[in-house]
Amino acid sequence: MTARPIAVVGASAAGLAAAEALRRGGWRGPLTLIGDEPHLPYDRPPLSKQLLHGAWEPDRLLLRTAEQLAPLDLDLRLGTRATGLDVATRTLTLDGGVGVPPLEQGREWGRLACAGVIIATGVAARTLPGADRIAGVHTLRTLDEALALRGELAHGGAPGSGGAAAGEGGGGRRLVIVGNGVLGCEAAAVARELGHDVTLVGIEATPMAAAVGTEVGELLAEEHRARGVRLRTGAVEGFETAPADPAGTGDPRVTAVRLANGGAGRGGGARLPADLVLLAIGSRPAVEWLADPALDTIDGLRCDAYCAAAPGIYAAGDVARWDHPVHGRPLRFEHRMNATEQGMAAARNLLAELAATDPAATGAGDGAPAQERRPFAPVPYFWSDQYGLKLQAYGLTAGADRVETTVLDRAERRALALYGRDGRAVGVLAAGIPPRQLRALRAVVATPLPWEEARERIGAATAAG
C-alpha cells in the first residue's frame, strides 16, 4: 500500500517554506504541493512594486526554479484547487490541474488521503459588485493580475480617446486607486513614477492610518501629494462605463468612478474620470473551501499556539489565525516574513506530531533527537517602499490604543513611532532610520514592555545611532 503523503495546500511563500522544512526535518514519504495558479511559487511583494513598474520580469519573482525544486521530490500539482477537506480522515478533494493522478489503487480521482495537511492558501482580493464585468477595473493579488494591470498602464492614452489621457507628460493614463492601504499606496507610487495621473481614494482620510497611525499616515499623504497624487476620501458608489468598441461587443469599459455623498478632499465632486481602476480594498482569507465544521474559519483558519487547527492539520501564512503566546490573543498577519517563518514552524510541529505514531517516516527512528512541538512566537515585521521612502515596522502597529510619533525630519519624511496596547509597548515603526538603529528597535518590542520603559529604551537606541 502506498504511504500517505503530507499535502501542503498553497504553492506560496509559506507553502514552499513548509515543504522545504518537511524534507529538512526528515520526512521521507510522499510530499504533495498544491497550487491553484499555474505558476511555480513566486514572491508577492514585488507585484505592486518592481513588477508593476517593469523593472523586473516574472522569472525574477520565482522563489525556486524547477531545477531547484527537483531535490524535494515533490508531487507538484499546479493549476489545482483544493475544494474540500475532511478533517477526521485528513482527505482533500481536488479540482483539476496539472499532475492530478488518474484512478489509482481504487481511490476516487480528485481525492487525496493524507498523513498530514498544511494549509497555506493565503488571501484573495476583495472586489466590488459587478467589477469583474467591467474592462479596465483590476485587482492586484496574483502574478497574472499584476501583469494585466502593467500591460494596460503601458498602453498610453484611453482606448478610443484619440490621444493621451489627462496625466502629466502627455502619455499617462488616468488611474483611480480605490483603497489607500499599503497596496494602494505602493501602486500609486509606482504609477506616478511611470508618469500616470493618479487619484487615491480611501474611506479613511489618511493613507495607511489603520496600519501605521494618523501621524505617520499624514507624512505619507504629504509625500504622495508632493509627487502629484490626488487624495480623496469617500466610498465608491459605482462605476460609469462606455461600450468596449463601436459594435458593442465585449465588456463595457470603465470611464469614471462615482463616490457616495460627493466624496471629500481636493478637487471636490463625486465623479472621478478614469481610464483604469485598481481595487485595493483589502483581502479575505482563502478559507471558503474549508466547510468541515471541525474547523473555525472566522477571519482565517483558527489555530492553537503550535499552528494546529486540528490533529494533523496545520496552517501557515496569511490564512492562519493563531494564538500568539507572547501577545496572548489570536493574531493573523499578512506579512511576507511571517509567511516563511510560520511555514517552517508548522512543518516542524506537524512532524513532531507524526513522529509519535510513525517515527521512521519522519526520520525520528535514525537516532535523531526526539522532536517536540514548539509554540510559534515571532516578532512581526513588515515593510513598505513608496518612492524613495522605506517604512519598516516590528511588532504590532494595527489596533494600538496609544501611538507616539516623533518626526525627526519632515522634509525627508524621517520619523519614529511607538505603538502601545493596554499600557505596554507592542510595536515600533521607523521611516528613514539607519539599519543599526532599526535592529535595536526590534529588541524593544520583542517582548512587550511597560510603556515608559519602552520609551526610554527607544530614546537610548536612537541617540546611540
Nearest CA-CA partner of 21 in 34, 9, 10, 8: 8
Backbone angles phi, psi at 90, to 5 degrees: 55, 50
Contact yes or no for 297/287 (Cβ under 8 A): yes
Q: Strands across the sheet with 91-95, in order?
A: 81-86, 91-95, 111-113
C-alpha span between 341 and 351 (Å, rounded): 16
Domain locations in the chain?
A: 6-124+284-366, 131-280, 388-464
DSSP 368-398: PPPP---------EEEEEETTEEEEEEE--T
| Crossing angle of the two packed helices 336-355 and 13-24, in degrees rounded to 10 | 40
The secondary element (H helix, E strand) that includes residue 452 is helix 451-464
Q: What is the pLDDT of residue 158?
A: 41
- Alpha-carbon distance of 387 to 189, in angstroms, equals 6
**Sequential pLDDT tens for the chain (465 residues):** 458 999 999 999 999 999 999 999 999 999 999 999 999 999 999 999 999 999 999 999 999 999 999 999 999 999 999 999 999 999 999 986 545 454 343 344 589 999 999 999 999 999 999 999 999 999 999 999 999 999 999 975 444 333 333 344 446 899 999 999 999 999 999 999 999 999 999 999 999 999 999 999 999 999 999 999 999 999 999 999 998 766 666 889 999 999 997 555 554 558 999 999 999 999 999 999 999 999 999 999 999 999 999 999 999 999 999 999 999 999 999 999 999 999 999 999 999 999 988 776 676 555 555 679 999 999 999 999 999 899 999 999 999 999 999 988 899 899 999 999 999 999 999 998 877 777 788 888 999 999 999 999 888 877 765
Amino acid sitting at position 397: T
What angle, 0 to 180 degrees and rounded to 10, lies between the N-to-C axes of helices 214-226 and 182-193?
Answer: 20
Q: Which residues pair with 242 in a beta bridge?
A: 253
DSSP-derived 3-state class of residue 8 = strand
| Angle ∠(232,166,207) on CA atoms, nearest 5 | 20
pLDDT for the residue 369: 58
Q: HSE, CB side, 13 Å, CA atoms: give it for residue 55.
A: 10
Domains 6-124+284-366 and 131-280 share a fold: yes
Q: How many CB atoms lie within 10 A of CB 279?
A: 21
Residue 251's φ and ψ, nearest 5 degrees, are -70, 145
pLDDT value at position 434? 78
Per-residue pLDDT at 108: 43
Residue 111 bridge partners (DSSP): 93
Total-model pTM = 0.90
Question: Residue 75: in which H helix or E strand, if any?
Answer: strand 74-78
Q: CATH classification of 388-464 is 3.30.390.30, yes or no?
A: yes
Strand spans (E) along 171-294? 174-178, 197-202, 230-233, 236-242, 253-259, 264-265, 271-273, 276-279, 283-285
N-terminal to C-terminal alpha carbon distance within the chain: 62
Which pLDDT score is estimated for 246? 66
Nearest to 231 by CA among 188, 262, 195: 188
What is the distance between the alpha carbons of residues 449 and 438, in angstroms, rounded to a whole number? 17
- CATH number of the domain located at residue range(s) 131-280 in this protein: 3.50.50.60
317: closest CA among 36, 24, 26, 43?
43
320: enclosing H helix or E strand:
strand 320-324
| Whether the Cβ atoms of residue 336 and residue 13 lie closer than 8 Å to each other | yes
Class of domain 6-124+284-366: alpha beta
Looking up cell 500609486 gives 188
- Closest C-alpha among 281, 297, 383 to residue 332: 297
Is the C-alpha dihedral spanning 445, 448, 451, 452 positive or negative?
negative
Report the alpha-carbon distance of residue 63 to residue 26 in Å, rounded.
22
Neighbours of 32 (CB within 10 A): 22
Radius of gyration of the chain (CA): 24
**187 sits in which H/E element:** helix 182-193
